[in-house]
Amino acid sequence: MPLGVCLISTVRPEPDPLKDLLQRCGFLVWTPSSPDADDGHIYDEAVCLVIDLPGEAGARTLKLLRDYGVKTPAVLVVDCGYRPMPDELGSPWTLNITPSPVDPRELLRWIETMCITRKLLERIEAGGRVARLSA
């Protein structure tokens, strides 16, 4: 199953450059307006959240998701010059805060790190299951 990224961004003229970039890299891209967004799986199953909203909206959205128990690591794209305080973010699960417009290579490095981490954790978990079955 391809890995997914949850993209929360302002309404942009189509095509959305971040969404296109992620899809070209082979990711499923879920947005809050996706048909399957209502069941909430887009947040928990995503390898990471990418939140690209103007002003303080990104930090407030991330804090709200943390308050709802979403622990998925996040990359927060903020307006140049804005630096949210740690208590605005709601948890330590923020991978990076990067200014807009986002450097695609930097964004992809963070997502790649999360993909590697996810695959490693899946292998460790699968190894534990194999060890339990053989015991």
Distance CA 123, CA 86 (A): 32
Closest CA to 111 of 62, 65, 53, 47: 47
Q: Report, as an integer, the average pLDDT of 91-101.
A: 74
Give residue-wise pLDDT tens across range 11-53.
Answer: 665 677 888 889 998 898 888 876 666 666 777 788 999 998 8
Three-state DSSP at 92 gives coil
- In this predicted structure, what is the pLDDT of residue 50? 92
Q: Name all domains of the chain by residue range, CATH numbers in brackets.
A: 4-134 (3.40.50.2300)
Q: Is 0.95 topped by the overall pTM?
A: no
With cut-offs at 50, 70 and 90, classify the pLDDT of residue 3: confident
User: What Cα–Cα distance (Å) separates residue 17 from each residue in 41, 104, 110, 122, 134?
Assistant: 24, 10, 17, 30, 48
With cut-offs at 50, 70 and 90, classify the pLDDT of residue 5: very high
Q: Count CA atoms within 13 Å of residue 107 on its CB side.
A: 24
Give residue-wise pLDDT tens across range 55-79.
Answer: 888 888 888 888 888 888 888 888 8
